[in-house]
Amino acid sequence: MKKYAKQSRLLVAVDCIIFGFDGFKLKVLLVKRSFEPEKDKWSLMGGFVGPQESPENAASRVLTQLTGLKDVYMEQMRVFGNPDRDPIERTISITYFALIDIHKYEKQIDEQQYHAEWFSLKEIPSLIFDHKQMIEHGKLNLRYKASLHPILFELLPDKFTLTQVIDLFEQVFDVLLDKRNFNRKLSSTKLLVKQKDKDKMHSKKGAYYYKLNKKIYKDKFGAFLNFISNPKIG
């Protein structure tokens, strides 16, 4: 087999920034690294791209290994390629951010062999290599994408309250929203379907549940430009 002459070989990896929302806090999923270097330290979930797979397939495989899930919302982010980012061997990493509903998938996560834990974005422990930088870029990418399209609903359960929606958007964008204007704009999208039952655990009067209109969400996903006005991108 012919090879390019005088070219050095390097490894290609993928790392996944997995965001989740527990109804109160936006979180990221981390694992304990199982091998040297930096064994037993906190890390993003990742792996090497196999010789017969694309980076996208490698990232999907990594997510399935950790969460037991397929068809997770996932987007490619950027490449991290500092020559000394991995002390063992020259490795470039292609990063992806993914969005999952924490409550729906905690069982799959617990059953996996990895020591996986959810951490609030304000309480992230020390991480290996450049993984902290990856998370920071993941937050900015999530904020930018969510300002254009309603992807944050991927983080919510099947039924949710308007308070949960607002709390999620405020945490992602690091802002205090004008609740009345936000609710008006959200209502105009016709994305939400009001339910008859209420959440009575977190307020005396109870807050109505809503569901996502999945047909509108899928059919008009690319049409919701400027879903939130004047986002604080960074």
pLDDT given at position 51: 94
Angle between helices 179-188 and 162-173 (to 10 degrees): 110
% of the chain exceeding 70 in pLDDT: 94
Average pLDDT (4-25) is: 93
> In the CATH scheme, what is the code of domain 151-223?
1.10.10.10
* CA of residue 222 relative to chain centroid, distance: 19
Whole-model pTM: value is: 0.91
* CA of residue 104 relative to chain centroid, distance: 15
Q: What is the pLDDT of residues 168-222, one digit of tens each?
A: 999 999 999 999 999 998 998 899 999 999 988 877 778 999 999 999 998 888 7
pLDDT classification of 230: cutoffs 50, 70, 90: low
pLDDT classification of 233: cutoffs 50, 70, 90: low
What phi and psi, each to the nearest 5 degrees, are found at residue 125?
-75, 180
Q: What is the pLDDT of residues 39-65, one digit of tens each?
A: 999 999 999 999 999 999 999 999 998
Residue 165 Cα distances to 143, 147, 155, angstroms: 15, 14, 10
pLDDT classification of 106: cutoffs 50, 70, 90: confident
pLDDT classification of 223: cutoffs 50, 70, 90: confident
> In the CATH scheme, what is the code of domain 11-148?
3.90.79.10
Q: What is the pLDDT of residues 118-138, one digit of tens each?
A: 999 999 999 999 999 999 999
pLDDT given at position 121: 93
Which amino acid, residue 9? R
Structure tokens that stand for 50 in this block: 């196999």
Structure tokens that stand for 189 in this block: 């999208």
Looking at the chain, which residues constitute the CATH 3.90.79.10 domain(s)? 11-148
**Beta strand extents in the chain (DSSP E only):** 11-21, 26-32, 42-43, 45-48, 73-80, 91-101, 116-120, 192-199, 207-212
Structure tokens that stand for 108 in this block: 């799959």
Distance CA 8, CA 101 (A): 42
Looking at the chain, which residues constitute the CATH 1.10.10.10 domain(s)? 151-223
Mean pLDDT of the chain: 90
